[in-house]
Structure formats: C-alpha cells, structure tokens
Amino acid sequence: MKPAEMKNLGLGAVLAALAAVVPLVADGYWLSIATTAMMYIALSTSWALFSGPTHLIALSTGAFFGVGGYLVGSGMSDYYQSFWTMALIAPIVATVLALLIGLATLRLSGVYFVIFTLGLAEMIRNLVSWVQNNFLGSRGLYVLTDFGEEHIYWMLLAVAVVVFVMGWWINRSRLGFALRIIGNDEEVARHVGINTAWSKVILFMSTGFFAALVGAIVAPRYSYIEPNVVFSPELSFLVVIMALLGGVHRLWGPLVGVIPFTLLWEAITISFPNSTTLFLGLSFLLIVYLIPNGFVGLFEQLKRRAAK
C-alpha cells in the first residue's frame, strides 16, 4: 500500500471518529440535521460508486430506499417481525431487484437510462400504493422502535463507512479498472475483453443494497410511513444533485456536496415550502452548466492553474 493511500485511510478514520462524536455534543434540531446529512452521505456516495465511473445518471435511489423502508414497516406491522430481521431481509430483496433491473436495462445509455430509472421508481411507488389500498386495507404502516435519533445516526455512519471502504477497495481492484475504461469508452472496453454488462450490474446491485439498507435504518424516524413518503422521487433527485455538486470522480466528492446542500435544502423547505421543486431544477441546471465536475473538480482546476 502506497504512503498516500495510508495517509488517506488514516484521515478517513479520524473523520469517522469525529463524526461518531456528533450525537454526544449535539441534540434536538442539529442532531436531526446531522442524521439527515449522514443519510445523504451514505446514499450519494453509494450512488457515485455506480454513476461516477459509468456516467449513467440513475434516478432509482428512491425506489430502493422505499423498498427498504416499506419492507421494514410491513414486516413489523403486518407480520410482527423484529426490526433487525427486516433490516437484514430488505437490502437482500433490493439487491435481487437491482439484479433483475440491471440485466434488463443496463444496455440502455444516456437519456434512455435516466427516463427508465425514473419511470421504474414511479411504477414501484404506484404499484405498492395500489396493493396497500386494495389488498391490505390501509395506507400506512407503523414502525415503532426504541431507537433515538442518535442510534439512527450511528447506524447510518456505520453504513457510510462501509460504503467508503468498499469504494476504496473497488478503486484499487480490477473491477474499478474495468469501470474506468467503460466510463471513458465502452466500445473500447468491449474490444479488450471486459464484460461491460456484468461490471455495471454488479455496481448497480451494490447501489440498490445500500439504498435499501439506509431506507430500512431510517424507517423508525417516520414512525408511521406511507408509500408516497418512502418512495419519494424527490429523494432520487436530491441524491444526484448532492453527488454532482461535490463531484463524483473522487470517492469523497459527494461528502463535499452533501453537507452544504443539506443545510441549504433545510432553509429552503422552511422558508419556501412550495418552491422546492423549482429549487431542485435550478440547482441541477446551475451545477451542470457552472461546475460540471463539482466542487472537487473546481478545486483541482484552480490548484492546477496556481501550480503553473
């Protein structure tokens, strides 16, 4: 292992230790903000593991997140299963779903893939709502646990750490090398013998797994959940915007985008609750046109200019 990699791992361990202390020094409103930010850190980083190297914009995070939250709620409310049992089952179900979706769709590219993943998330949301209304007799599910905000925060931090470690390992592996070639030119990747379809499917499955796991962990925050709450298309767009704002060509890039945007999003939803969709659209346009490589890319560009 190179000295630079050791330094990065050490820095990551220090940051994780500092993050673990947050619930001990913050409570109430600020702990709630920290928990929300940690949720988006895990989601955005896992999303970037797939979309960063492949350059495919997946809007399916809300669907997998909803699968995790809904299965936990359904298992606890309808079948009297424990939270831990359902939190184990939910990401496995989402991973299988991601495998099926990936095999069917990852041959698509560009805008076709974006449209399909958004339509898929909406289809799952409406299907679950229809089943809930017509066969289960009620719309909502109770998720009652003894977890406080600090417990949810620490669980999300653990997931985020696992995502970062997995991303670090992938970047150093043959899979990461293959994905970088695919991102640069998929046709070239095929010619050199890389199985491009399976490489993308594997990463897409990991995104589905972590999104569902986060959804399962966050479910107790709602206490009472409905399909329209946990299968939120807004969440998919927020994850994409936060990741792009930070920059997806570096593993730690989404972290840089999540923290400021979470604070800004909180202010917008409180001050202008009817304008959130407009704000999302404007944010996406500004990021694409002004800082297409995110804050990390902008910083690296300024650093190169200063070095000349």
Q: What is the CA radius of gyration of the chain?
A: 19
pLDDT along the chain (308 residues), means of 10: 67 88 90 96 93 85 93 85 94 93 75 80 84 71 89 96 91 81 76 78 92 95 84 90 91 90 92 89 89 87 78
Q: Which of 162, 194, 204 is nearest to 54 (CA)?
A: 204
Q: What is the pLDDT of residues 28-63, one digit of tens each?
A: 899 999 999 999 999 999 999 888 888 888 888 999
Q: Please say whether the beta carbons of 50 and 106 come within 8 A.
A: no
**d(C-alpha 303, C-alpha 289), whole Å:** 20
Sign of the C-alpha dihedral, residues 207, 93, 156, 217? Answer: positive
For residue 66, the model assigns a pLDDT of 93
Q: What does pLDDT average to over the chain?
A: 87
Q: What is the pLDDT of residues 116-128, one digit of tens each?
A: 888 888 888 888 8
Q: Please say whether the beta carbons of 59 and 178 come within 8 A.
A: no
Tokens of 193: 């013998």
Number of H helices and E strands in the chain, helices first, is 14, 2
Tokens of 94: 């989402």
For residue 176, the model assigns a pLDDT of 80
For residue 213, the model assigns a pLDDT of 97
What's this model's pTM, rounded to 2 decimal places?
0.92
